Structures are given as C-alpha cells and as structure tokens.
Amino acid sequence: MNKTETLRQSAAAANEKRLAHLAQQIEAVRQAKHQRVEDLATSLEPLAQAMAALSDETLQTLMLIERRTREQAEAFTSQLQDEVRAFREATAAARKAADRMKQSMFVPNEN
C-alpha cells in the first residue's frame, strides 16, 4: 500500500468518525425543544464550527492527495522516459553489433 492510499484511508476513517459525531449532534438538535433562540444558537454553534473544521480538513487532505498524486505521476513519467531512453540505447548498440557481425562475416580472410 503506498503513502497516498494510506493517507486516503486515514482521512476517510477520520471523516467517518467526525460525520458520525456530527450526525449525533444534528439529531440532538432536531430532538431538542428550545425555549429561546439563544438556546438554539448555543446548540448550533459547536455544530457549525465542527462542520467548518471538517470542510477545511477535507480540503487540505484532498489538496495533499492531489499534490502527492501529481508528484508520483511525474516520478513515474521520468522513470518511464529513462527506461525508454535506455532501451533505445541498447537497441542501437545491438544493431551496431549486428552490423559489425554481418560485415565481419563477409570480409574475406586475408590469410
């Protein structure tokens, strides 16, 4: 498992826990009978803050995943280009060796 996948799984697990907690808070607000607007505001403020924090953390995690994915793609592309270059060089060397071999086979022996 690579670092990006581990990070995704970790972020997903943390988000699931937060969402479950937020769902409980939403349910508590839904079931509560508030006498005054101030009580409602007091109950909703932590919920709003938790949702904002979750959104911010999710955005940061997604940006990190995107950056690491881009870095991995660039590294893979670079490695692939290096391998292609090495393959082409090996092919050229093999052709030269084959050409030399053909020429040596057709050169009359001077002995």
Residue 97's pLDDT is what?
Answer: 93
The answer to whether 43 touches 28, Cβ cutoff 8 Å, is: yes
HSE, side-chain direction, 13 A CA sphere, residue 69: 10
pTM: 0.55
Residue 27's pLDDT is what?
Answer: 80
Sign of the CA dihedral running 10, 15, 18, 23: negative
- What's the mean pLDDT when you consider all of the chain? 86
Residue 26's pLDDT is what?
Answer: 81
The answer to whether 65 touches 10, Cβ cutoff 8 Å, is: no
Domain assignments of the chain as residue spans, ordered by start: 3-106
Which of 19-23, 62-66, 84-88, 92-96 is the least confident region?
19-23
pLDDT tens-digit series, residues 42-60? 888 888 998 899 899 999 9
